[in-house]
Amino acid sequence: MRALLALAAAAAVLAGCGTAPSGGAPDGAPAPADLAADAVAALADAGSAHYVLDADLRGNGDAGFDAGLHVEGDASEDAVTAEGSVTFPGGSLAGAVLASEDEIFLRFMGQWYGERETGLGRADDDAPTPDAVREHFNDIFTGSVAGGPDVGGSATWRFQGKLNPDGFADLTERFEEERVTDEQRQLLRRVADHSRFVLDVGRDDDLPRHLRFSLELSAEDVAAVGDAFAGTSLYDLADLDVEATLDLSEFGKDVSYDAPASYRPLDELFDQLFSGLG
């Protein structure tokens, strides 16, 4: 569940209200910061959920590429299951993960690998808290809340917004101790104009149902933005077009798995994957 909380909470943090006022939402809708923070709290109280994560990454540089990710499974504080695939130019890979507090198993190329002394642990402090989400909400995104679609028979509130460039730059300077120049701030505003974020949350239970983030830059945008961000962590924003969705359901379900009867050491898999990088 911690991994799921990290995914949903991080996305919820990114659903911030920006510089817009936090009140005055139409039709009795909650303020964006409250919507996201309450969603994080409700997900933690539920304890588990089924998740489906999809992402499409398109390189927008001269040597462009197209890659995709699909992962589906269940997550709770005690166990995580995942099965998915990665597609990339020229091929694809599929695999699975089973993990608990003190063990982890990975299936790759039809073979199970595992380790019974390493698992998820209990690093609960790594998951953003509702208070942290509420505090930084306005720094990352700007947008508003209105009535959303029915999801699984439940009415929702929908946040729609985009990056808050100046708030994002201020947080970059604060937490990464990396100065953002005036030129970079101006170009970050160009990036923000091409970003979109959607968060659907149940009206009756505050549970997050659907999240979507997208960022699309034209060749002209990349040319303008890339040089200014070269050599900084912000350059990644200009390196990829991204669309990602996370759908959550079956909250509060029991999450368990049957460990594979036989498996090879996990180190053997890592040796296979990274032996050519030395």
Torsion angles phi and psi, residue 18, rounded to 5: 65, -140
pLDDT at 276: 54
Mean pLDDT calculated for residue range 129-155? 91
- Among 22-36, 137-151, 200-214, the range of highest mean pLDDT: 200-214
Domains of the chain: 2-261 (2.50.20.20)
Contact predicate 96/260, CB 8 Å: no
User: For the range 253-259, what are the long-range contacts, defined as Cβ-Cβ under 8 Å and sequence gap of 24 or more?
Assistant: 253/48, 253/49, 253/50, 253/74, 254/48, 254/76, 255/1, 255/48, 255/74, 255/75, 255/76, 255/78, 255/79, 255/80, 255/81, 256/79, 257/79, 257/81, 257/98, 259/98, 259/103, 259/105, 259/114
Higher pLDDT, 110 or 25: 110
pLDDT at 84: 97
pLDDT above 70 covers a percentage of the chain that reads 80
Is the pLDDT confidence value at 42 over 80? yes
pLDDT at 236: 63
- Could you give the CA distance from residue 138 to residue 160 in angstroms, rounded to a whole number? 13
Is the pLDDT confidence value at 125 over 90? no
Residues in the chain: 278
Contact predicate 73/92, CB 8 Å: no
pLDDT at 174: 87
Min mean pLDDT across 41-45, 71-75, 97-101, 169-173 is at 169-173
- Could you give the CA distance from residue 8 to residue 44 in angstroms, rounded to a whole number? 10
Mean pLDDT calculated for residue range 14-40? 67
How does residue 226 score in pLDDT terms, banded at 50, 70 and 90? low
- Could you give the CA distance from residue 9 to residue 130 in angstroms, rounded to a whole number? 8
Nearest Cα to Cα of residue 115 among 256, 257, 269, 255: 269
Mean pLDDT calculated for residue range 38-52? 97
Is the pLDDT confidence value at 69 over 80? yes
How does residue 33 score in pLDDT terms, banded at 50, 70 and 90? very high
- Could you give the CA distance from residue 267 to residue 277 in angstroms, rounded to a whole number? 15
Mean pLDDT calculated for residue range 172-198? 88
pLDDT at 122: 55
Contact predicate 145/35, CB 8 Å: yes
